[in-house]
Copies of this chain bind each other. A is one copy, B any other.
Amino acid sequence: MALSVEGHTQVEAQLRAAKAAARLLAPLPRAVKDQALHAMGEAIWADRAAILAANQTDLERAHAQGETKARMDRLMLDERRLHQVIQGLEQVAALPDPVGQVEAAWTRPNGLHIEKVRVPFGVIAIIYESRPNVTVDAAALALKTGNAVVLRGGKEAQSSNAALTAAMRRGLQAAGVPEDALQFVAVPDRAVVDVLIRAKGWVDLAIPRGGAGLIQHVVEHAVVPVIETGVGNCHVYVDAQADLDMAVEIVVNAKVQRPSVCNAAETLLVHRDVAPAFLPRVGQALTARGVELRACTETYTLLQGVVPADLLQRAEELDWSTEYLDLIMAVKVVGSLDEAIQHINHYGSQHSEAIVTADTQAAARFFSSIDAAAVYHNASTRFTDGFEFGFGAEMGISTQKLHARGPMGLPELTTYQYRVRGTGQVRS
């Protein structure tokens, strides 16, 4: 699927402009960037009539296309939501700037002094499908870290995103920051994504944020470096030594509190020793909240007649690897901690995994054996989040191991440079 020549030319011009702006952005002091973030917020507020009108266009098109209420709500902007978006900009301004931080410094025996210093990536491309507030969020985090940013949002929010970006560019200009540091790719063609992720030398980092299909497409076709985000097949394992009251609370929270997100739990593993005592309790608690259970044979036997029949299904092989993002939970009895670890390492997506146990040795083995971005002992998987971790910001949750793992805050949007000072040293 190739992009039209015209579309190609436009995207290339935007990448060129972004790269030139990135060079100017990199050495900017924190104060200038923070001022720009405030100015962006002011410009959004000043432009609110145009932004809300653009949003109305998106909403009407979505309505005409028969979108669900939930999706319409995610798309919708109003003055209250714009206020939140602007507050978000101010919060990012208040965060420390990682750029320029000296991570390490040492002097070699030959007198060379070496510093490892945080620097921006350059141009970051963000490809997303979600709500228009991501447009402002992503722009703020990239600019705060001295990066130019090329945004490619979902077509359902096209008008809203264009209006928000236009306002933010005016804000940048008002603050004396090159407005070309913020590019919104409006070319209405899906092939734009492929141009961005293959623009080696122009895009220093691509971050896809969205569903599994988008992520997979980007990882499969990208030539530029990518940070994968988002897919989470998370487990809670209730060990033989678990406090069962605590376990019920954690399992229910991990599944029910917000089932549509990547750090929600999808599978419950229960040690055989506590299964008869625990499964009926947690089964009732989950089904009372509308959760459908996909049960292994042992679980099915223990829960038959205990929970509503319409919420109890037999699990199939596919259930162990499915990210439901819904009020559905797979449930399996395991014979040991090792079996739980093997199951998680086999079926998990290396996102967030929890053990509930009073046995600290079991927890230590779980921590050192589970291959995931975040592991939890006696806490809900739902805490894998930049704000919950105290980062004050989040660009997404990385599920890869290269560069960034788990919640990405500001430092993860930077790279480093070695700065070496000498007095004429040469190598012999």
Contact = CB atoms under 8 A, between A and B. Distances in A.
Interface of A: 23, 26-27, 106, 108, 112, 114, 121-122, 200, 204-205, 219-220, 223, 225, 227, 243, 246, 249-250, 252-254, 257, 345, 363, 367-369, 371-380, 382-384, 388-390, 400-403, 405-406, 415-428
Nearest to A204: B401
A212 to B, nearest CB: 13
Contact of A426 (B253, B368, B426): B253
8 tightest Cβ-Cβ pairs between the two chains A and B: A379-B422, A253-B426, A225-B402, A403-B403, A401-B415, A382-B427, A246-B424, A27-B368
A425 B383 contact: yes
Central interface residue in A363, A405, A424, by most chain B CB within 10 Å: A424
Given A26-B369, A250-B424, A382-B427, 15 more contacts: A122-B401, A205-B402, A225-B400, A225-B401, A227-B402, A253-B427, A367-B419, A372-B417, A373-B417, A375-B418, A378-B421, A378-B422, A378-B423, A389-B418, A405-B416
This chain: copies in complex: 2
A108 B386 CA distance: 12
Contacts of A427: 253, 257, 380, 382-383, 388
27 contacts: A23-B345, A26-B369, A112-B383, A114-B390, A121-B401, A122-B401, A205-B401, A205-B402, A219-B223, A220-B223, A225-B401, A243-B424, A249-B424, A253-B426, A372-B417, A374-B419, A375-B417, A377-B422, A378-B421, A379-B421, A379-B426, A380-B426, A380-B427, A383-B427, A402-B415, A405-B416, A405-B417
Contacts of A389: 108, 114, 418
Nearest to A406: B418
Contacts of A403: 402-403
Contact of A405 (B108, B223, B415): B415
B422 A376 contact: yes
B418 A374 contact: yes
Contacts of A252: 426
Contacts of A383: 112, 420, 425, 427
Given A376-B420, A401-B122, A402-B225, A382 B415 contact: no
A350 to B, nearest CB: 9
A374 B115 CA distance: 10
A390 B108 contact: yes
Contact of A424 (B379, B390, B415, B421): B379
Nearest to A378: B422
Nearest to A374: B418
